[in-house]
């Protein structure tokens, strides 16, 4: 079993197509097909089945992919660690983040860190709560900002960085837009613009509304804070967003009002794979983040 076979297998599994995999890898389709065939012969089981023009993983193929992705990520990390041993200031940090932290927090801390470590590179991956935890578990990223912070998890661990308040956002012409504070119950009859199911902010809003004694009427759903903020500003509904997601000024700007009953917050933390030793450069960044949030 060769490393090249495993790399080809993972690429085809992700692309579900030999042609697309070959184009991305800059190799001939026949070379990929031959290596996949040899891998299946060595394992003694088919890893793919053809469905139309695409290839889909068999049940054994899915299991094999899950294991091999971890192995390849560990090999990539081993190579990075050797390079960082020679020069940690020229290393690469692989870090994940939810979209709501990519507007202000992530650019701020990366820029601050690079003032002292200008040659360090960052490989960034945006994702949902579950996808970020999965990527940390698989070793595809070293660290990840996460919200809410998982206090107890079998495979990831880390540290709580901050508690952030969520604000009600309303169209500028809304009757409550000029209030300094509101009770969430005052939005009972409104149409809400919400995140879709896989986003943790949706559950935070739903739980807050339940505490206020009502189930929100959902008029629109979105996947990015910019979309939700823009729809609210356009007058199609109301929502709740973290304060950091409201720092950017745009042409369509909603009114921001503090919610005092109940107080709505989210936890933000930093996680890594439990039991893992981070690459030196990632460990430097981790300590930088801990100091940064402790001071601020």
The domain limits of the chain are 3-69, 89-162+268-295, 163-265
Residue 205: which H helix or E strand, with range?
Answer: helix 200-211
3-class SS at 163? Answer: strand
Inter-CA distances, 14 with 70, 127, 142, Å: 14, 17, 21
Q: Give the architecture (CATH level 2) of 89-162+268-295.
A: 3-Layer(aba) Sandwich (3.40)
pLDDT tens by residue, the chain, 296 residues:
788 889 999 998 898 888 888 888 888 989 988 998 999 999 999 999 888 888 899 999 999 999 999 888 888 878 877 877 667 787 889 999 998 898 889 999 999 999 999 999 999 999 999 999 999 998 899 999 999 999 888 899 999 999 999 999 999 999 999 999 999 999 999 999 999 888 999 999 999 999 999 999 999 998 888 889 999 999 999 999 999 888 877 777 899 999 999 999 999 999 999 998 888 899 999 999 999 999 87
CATH entry 3.90.79.10 includes domain 163-265: no
Indicate the pTM of the whole model. 0.72
Residue found by looking up tokens 């012969």 in the block: 41
CATH code for the part of the protein at 3-69 = 1.10.10.10
Q: How far apart are CA 147 and CA 121, in angstroms?
A: 24
Distance (Å) of CA 187 to CA 176, 202, 218, 225, 232: 9, 16, 12, 20, 13
- 224 Rama sector, left if φ>0, alpha if ψ -120 to 50, beta otherwise: beta
Would 3-69 and 163-265 be classified into the same CATH topology? no
State how far the alpha carbon of 37 is from the alpha carbons of 5, 41, 55, in Å. 9, 6, 13
| Tokens coding 222 | 């979105």
Output the pLDDT for position 81. Answer: 76
Enumerate residues 6+ apart whose C-beta is below 8 A from 167. Answer: 240, 241, 242, 243, 246, 256, 257, 258, 259
For the stretch 184-212, pLDDT in tens is 999 999 999 999 888 999 999 999 999 99
């Amino acid at each position: 079993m060769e490393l090249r076979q495993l790399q080809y297998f993972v690429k085809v599994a992700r692309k579900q197509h030999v042609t697309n995999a070959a184009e991305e890898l800059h190799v001939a389709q026949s070379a990929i097909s031959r290596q996949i065939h040899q891998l299946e012969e060595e394992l003694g089981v088919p890893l793919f089945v053809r469905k139309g023009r695409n290839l889909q993983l068999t049940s054994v193929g899915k299991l094999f992919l899950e294991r091999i992705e971890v192995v390849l990520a560990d090999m990539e990390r081993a190579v990075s660690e050797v390079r960082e041993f020679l020069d940690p200031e020229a290393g690469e940090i692989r870090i994940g983040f939810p979209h709501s932290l990519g507007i202000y927090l992530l650019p701020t801390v990366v820029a601050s860190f690079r003032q002292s470590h200008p040659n360090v590179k960052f490989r960034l991956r945006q994702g949902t709560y579950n996808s970020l935890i999965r990527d940390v578990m698989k070793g595809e990223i070293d660290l990840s900002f996460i919200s809410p912070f998982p206090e107890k998890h079998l495979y990831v661990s880390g540290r709580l960085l901050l508690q952030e308040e969520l604000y009600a956002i309303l169209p500028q012409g809304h009757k409550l837009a000029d209030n300094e504070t509101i009770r969430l119950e005052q939005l009972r009859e409104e149409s809400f613009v919400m995140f879709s199911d896989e986003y943790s902010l949706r559950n935070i809003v739903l739980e807050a509304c339940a505490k206020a004694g009502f189930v929100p009427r959902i008029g629109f759903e979105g996947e990015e804070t910019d979309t939700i903020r823009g729809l609210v500003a356009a007058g199609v509904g109301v929502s709740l967003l973290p304060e950091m997601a409201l720092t950017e000024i745009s042409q369509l700007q909603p009114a921001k009002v503090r919610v005092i009953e109940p107080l709505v917050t989210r936890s933000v933390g930093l996680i890594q794979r439990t039991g893992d030793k981070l690459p030196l450069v990632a460990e430097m960044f981790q300590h930088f983040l801990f100091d940064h949030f402790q001071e601020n």
